[in-house]
């Protein structure tokens, strides 16, 4: 029994190292946190319950049977933000670049199913290059299962996605179906396909930033809702966002007491909206004037 326990402890240590120390160091060198570090920051200390920590892929093609990592490139589970239950998955870029396999997808689907059953928000910390091509159609079928759950959860529970690395293909199709998308500047990218593929097909030279950076999705496509300077700021935004949202469509949003009188006058509104209907004005100024405590 002691030997079995020692083996289990060793497996857990390997799972917590992801792709290994060298790849973790490379992740840190470009200003990115690891999947586990992100979850530790997101959830209250000691509240995270991990699921399927030791599972591995079952692919035997292209030598993949010799490359197995516990957890298979995604950390899933649930925990607390403040006093709120949330479910979370964080893709691990140190394992196959966060690429999604059949097993990887099943872990995400499982935690999404649990979130819907419990009526709690689901948070995805995305850092993935897309489908794991060695698994072919199995990985694509995994994305289909995730997209189905995105659709089923829409309007039922809050779905929050953070783009924290260079994400392509299915790794951004799913976030685009969710309610809120946050992107990290200079490390988070959303592509249908990356610059190398664009170059090979169209001979057009385009940078990652021009093709799918924060500037594109915050000012042109409208896909992203919030941008952050780094992983820590992004995670703080998610924690703040959760405080505004109900857990599901059957709950009321959190109530915060205010001392702002409902009869407070807002004289600035008199001159805010122009008499000329063709002249623009700043709707945010109106909202801030009317909302309690600005």
Tokens at 154, concatenated = 């829409």
pLDDT one-digit tens code per residue, 77-133? 999 999 999 999 999 999 988 889 999 999 999 999 999 999 999 999 999 988 888
Do residue 14 and residue 133 come from a single domain?
yes
Residue 210 and residue 266 in one domain: no
Average pLDDT in the chain: 91
Residue 251 in domain: no
In terms of domains, do 197 and 172 share one? Answer: yes
DSSP state of 253: P
pLDDT at res. 69: 83
Return the sign of the alpha-carbon dihedral for residues 225, 228, 233, 235. positive
Are 238 and 263 members of one domain?
Answer: no
Same domain, 111 and 68: yes
Q: Are 209 and 266 part of one and the same domain? A: no
Per residue in 2-26, pLDDT tens? 899 998 898 888 888 888 889 999 9
* 157 has pLDDT over 90: yes
For 76-86, how does the pLDDT look when each residue is reduced to its tens digit (9 = 90+)? 999 999 999 99
Do residues 165 and 276 share a domain? no
CA distance linking residue 133 with residue 137, whole number of Å? 8
In the three-class reduction of DSSP (H, G, I as helix; E, B as strand; rest coil), residue 74 is classed as strand
Tell me the mean pLDDT in the region 245-264: 90
Asked, for residue 252, whether it belongs to a domain, the answer is: no
Supply the pTM of this predicted model.
0.87
Domain that holds residue 78: 2-244
User: Do residue 94 and residue 177 come from a single domain?
Assistant: yes
* Residue 268 confidence (pLDDT) above 90: no
DSSP symbol at 269 = G
What's the CATH number where 44 sits?
3.90.226.10
Question: Based on the structure, what is the number of domains in the chain?
Answer: 2
- In this structure, the answer to whether residues 70 and 213 fall within a common structural domain is yes
Please give the backbone phi and psi of residue 173, each rounded to the nearest 5 degrees, phi first: -65, -40
Band of the pLDDT at 250, cuts 50, 70, 90?
A: very high
239 and 261 inside one domain = no
> Could you give the count of Cα atoms lying within 13 Å of 77 in the half-sphere of its Cβ?
20
Q: Are strands 74-81 and 49-51 parallel, antiparallel or unpaired?
A: antiparallel
Does residue 70 sit within a domain?
yes
């Amino acid at each position: 029994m002691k030997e079995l326990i020692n083996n289990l402890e060793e497996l857990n240590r390997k799972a917590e190292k992801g792709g290994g120390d060298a790849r973790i160091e490379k992740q840190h060198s470009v200003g990115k946190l690891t999947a586990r570090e992100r979850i530790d920051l997101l959830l209250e200390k000691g509240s995270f319950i991990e699921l399927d920590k030791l599972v591995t892929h079952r692919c035997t093609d292209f030598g993949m049977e010799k490359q197995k990592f516990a957890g298979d490139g995604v950390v899933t589970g649930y925990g607390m933000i403040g006093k709120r239950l949330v479910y979370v998955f964080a893709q691990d870029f140190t394992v196959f670049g966060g690429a999604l396999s059949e097993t990887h997808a099943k872990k995400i689907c499982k935690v999404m199913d649990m979130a819907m059953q419990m009526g709690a928000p689901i948070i995805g910390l995305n850092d993935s290059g897309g489908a794991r091509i060695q698994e072919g159609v199995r990985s694509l079928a995994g994305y289909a299962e995730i997209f189905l759950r995105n659709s089923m959860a829409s309007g039922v529970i809050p779905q929050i996605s953070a783009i924290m690395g260079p994400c392509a293909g299915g790794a951004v199709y799913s976030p685009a179906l969710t309610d809120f998308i946050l992107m990290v500047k200079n490390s988070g990218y959303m592509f249908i396909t990356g610059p190398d593929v664009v170059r090979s097909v169209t001979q057009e030279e385009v940078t990652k930033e021009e093709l799918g950076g924060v500037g594109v999705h915050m000012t042109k496509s409208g896909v992203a809702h919030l941008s952050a300077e780094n992983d820590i700021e992004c995670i703080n935004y998610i924690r703040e966002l959760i405080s505004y949202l109900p857990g599901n469509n059957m709950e009321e949003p959190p109530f915060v007491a205010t001392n702002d009188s409902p009869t407070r006058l807002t004289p600035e509104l008199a001159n805010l909206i122009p008499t000329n209907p063709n002249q623009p004005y700043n709707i945010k100024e109106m909202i801030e004037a009317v909302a309690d405590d600005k």
